[in-house]
Amino acid sequence: MFRHFERPIERPSTPATVASDFGLLYASNGLIGWLFAATAPVAIILTVGSHGGLSEAEIASWIFGVFFVNGLITILFSWLYRQPLAFFWTIPGTVLVGQSLTHLTFQQVVGAYYVTAVLMLVLGATGWVKRMMELAPLPIVMGMVAGVFLRFGLDLVHAVFDDTAIAGSMVVIWLLLTAVPQLGRRCPPIIGALLVGALAVIMLGRFDASSPLHLELVKPVIQEPAWSIAAIIELVIPLAITVLVVQNGQGFAVLKTAGHTSPVNAVTIACGLGAAITAVVGGISTCLTGPTNAILVSSGERKRQYVAGIVVGLLAIVFGLLAPTFTRLLLNAPKSFIAALAGLAMLRVLQTAFVTAFATRFSLGALVAFLVTIADVPLFNVGAAFWGLVSGIVISVLLERTDFTPKPAA
Q: Are 382 and 184 in contact (CB under 8 A)?
A: no
| Confidence (pLDDT) at 320 | 94
Pairing state of beta strands 87-89 and 286-288?
Answer: antiparallel
- The amino acid occupying position 362 is F
Mean pLDDT over residues 247-263, rounded? 81
Assess whether pLDDT exceeds 60 at residue 410.
no
Domain boundaries, the chain: 15-206+216-348
Gap between the Cα atoms of 20 and 307, Å rounded: 10
| Confidence (pLDDT) at 367 | 94
Length of the chain: 410
Give the global pTM.
0.76
Reported confidence tier of residue 69, pLDDT bands at 50, 70, 90: very high
Reported confidence tier of residue 350, pLDDT bands at 50, 70, 90: confident
348 φ, ψ (degrees, to nearest 5): -65, -35
CA 211 vs CA 216, 329, 331, 398: distances in Å: 13, 10, 10, 57
Q: Is 394 exposed, middle or buried (0-12, 13-18, 19+ CB in 10 A)?
A: middle
